[in-house]
């Protein structure tokens, strides 16, 4: 669900997966796997992704408890 939220935020901001991954310092294939829920990632990686999305970490986790 975290990956889905990251993808939703990225799409809403009109950002490519390559641009977000580059700014986060990770491979775009890794970000793709995170977004699709294929792999888990650390909170540090989520922090780096959130910075590249220009959003705060809590926004990524916001409303996840409702699912």
pLDDT for position 1: 87
pLDDT in tens, 20-57: 999 999 999 999 999 999 999 999 999 999 999 999 99
Model's pTM, two decimal places?
A: 0.89
Tally Cβ neighbours within 10 Å of residue 46.
Answer: 19
pLDDT class for 66, splitting at 50, 70, 90? low
Domains of the chain and CATH, by start: 2-66 (1.10.260.40)
What gap in Å lies between CA 31 and CA 33, rounded to an integer? 5
């Amino acid at each position: 669900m975290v990956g889905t939220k990251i993808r939703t935020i990225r799409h809403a901001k009109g950002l490519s997966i390559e641009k977000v991954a580059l700014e986060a310092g990770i491979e775009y294939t890794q970000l793709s796997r995170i977004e699709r829920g294929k792999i888990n990632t650390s909170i540090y990686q989520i922090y780096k992704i959130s910075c590249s999305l220009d959003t705060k970490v809590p926004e990524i986790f916001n409303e996840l408890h409702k699912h």
